[in-house]
Amino acid sequence: MGTGSSILGADGEWGETSLGDMPESCVAAVLLNLNPPEICQVACLNRAFRGAASADCVWAGKLPANYRYLVALAAAADDEGGGDGDGNVKPCSLISTKKEIYARLCRPTLFDAGTKEFCIEKNKGGLCMSISSKAMAITGIDDRRYWSHLVTEESRFHSVAYLQQIWWLEVGGELDFCFPAGSYSLFFRLHLGRAHKRMGRRVCDTELIHGWDARPTRFHLSTSDEQQATSEYYLDGPGSWILYHVGDFVISNSDELISLKYSMMQIDCTHTKGGLCVDSVVIYPKGYRREKMNTVYM
C-alpha cells in the first residue's frame, strides 16, 4: 500500500489523500505505541507527523514517573555547570515541552560534587546511574603505598582508584535516591592491570596483578527496605573492563527515597592482592544490555 489513496469528492470527482491529510490527533494516537527514536524518525514524514511528534501527550508516557525529581537535579547541575557541556541542547531553565525534558534527561547529569551521574536510556526511558570510586570508602585509599588515583579517558569520571598491593581489600558506598519504579541491577566496574598509551596504542601493564585467584571477592548489596543480594567472583580478564553483577533490587514507589549500600571485599589476610583498577558502581534497568559491555553474572 502506498501513502496515498483515492476518495470520491463532493463533485463526483476522484481525488487523492495522503498521510499529510491525517488529523494530528490521530497521528499522535499512533505515535503513543512507538519508542522515542521511532517517534523522531517518523517526524520527518510530513507536517502532521512532525507536529504530533512534539505533542506533550505523546511524550508524557515516555518520561519516568518521577521526572520532576530528575529535572530538579538536572536544573541544579545546569546552574552549576555540571551538565555534559553540550551547547546544542537547551538547559532546564529554557525547556518548555515534555519532548525537550526527555532530551535533557537523556544527557548525563553530574551531581554530588561530580562524583555521581545519571541519565535515562533513550530507547525506553529507564534510569541509568554511575557512581565514581571517589564517592566510595576505600580502606587505605590515602596511603600511597597501597592506592593511587589514575587519570584516564577510560572512565566517565576521568579517574580510577588503582590498587598496587594490599592485604585487606574493602570498598563500599551508599546512595540515597528516588528511582523510578521498576527492577534494577547493580554492578562494580573493575579492571585488572594498568592501562596506558604507548606510541598511540593501548597497552596494559599486568606485572602487579596477583592474589585474585586465591580467594573469591565478595560483593554485597542492601536497601533500606530490606532487600539484599550477595555474589562472589574470582576476578579475571586482565586488560578488559568488566561489570561484576552484585545483585538486583526492585522499586515499587517512584516518589520514595531509597537508600542503597554496596560493597566489595577480599579480606583473607593470608595473601596480598594487587593490580586492580576500581572505576565505578553502575546501576541499570534489569535486563538492559550495552554494546561492548563485558558482564559477569553468578
Q: What is the pLDDT of residues 127-145, one digit of tens each?
A: 999 999 999 999 999 999 9
Interatomic CA distance for residues 86 and 207, integer angstroms: 40
Cα angle for residues 287, 291, 296 (degrees, 5° grid): 55
Residue 298 has a pLDDT of 65
- SS3 of 232-257: EECCCCCCCEEEEEEEEEEECCCCCC
Residue 139 has a pLDDT of 96
Q: Give the confidence band of 7 by pLDDT, cuts at 50, 70, 90.
A: very low
Q: pLDDT tens digits, residue range 231-240?
A: 999 999 999 9
67, three cell numbers? 521526572
Instruction: Compute, in degrees rounded to 10, the torsion defined by CA atoms 123, 128, 132, 135.
Output: 160
Q: pLDDT tens digits, residue range 156-169?
A: 999 999 999 999 99
Q: What is the DSSP letter of 180?
A: P
Summarize the confidence of residues 13-40 as an average pLDDT: 69
Interatomic CA distance for residues 125 and 293, integer angstroms: 20
pLDDT at 21 exceeding the cut of 90: no
Q: pLDDT tens digits, residue range 169-213?
A: 999 999 999 999 999 999 999 999 999 888 889 999 999 999 999
Q: Where are the beta strands (DSSP E) in the chain?
A: 4-8, 14-18, 109-111, 116-120, 127-132, 137-138, 147-151, 159-163, 169-177, 182-192, 194-198, 201-205, 217-223, 228-233, 241-251, 258-266, 276-285, 294-296
Q: What is the overall mean pLDDT for the chain?
A: 87
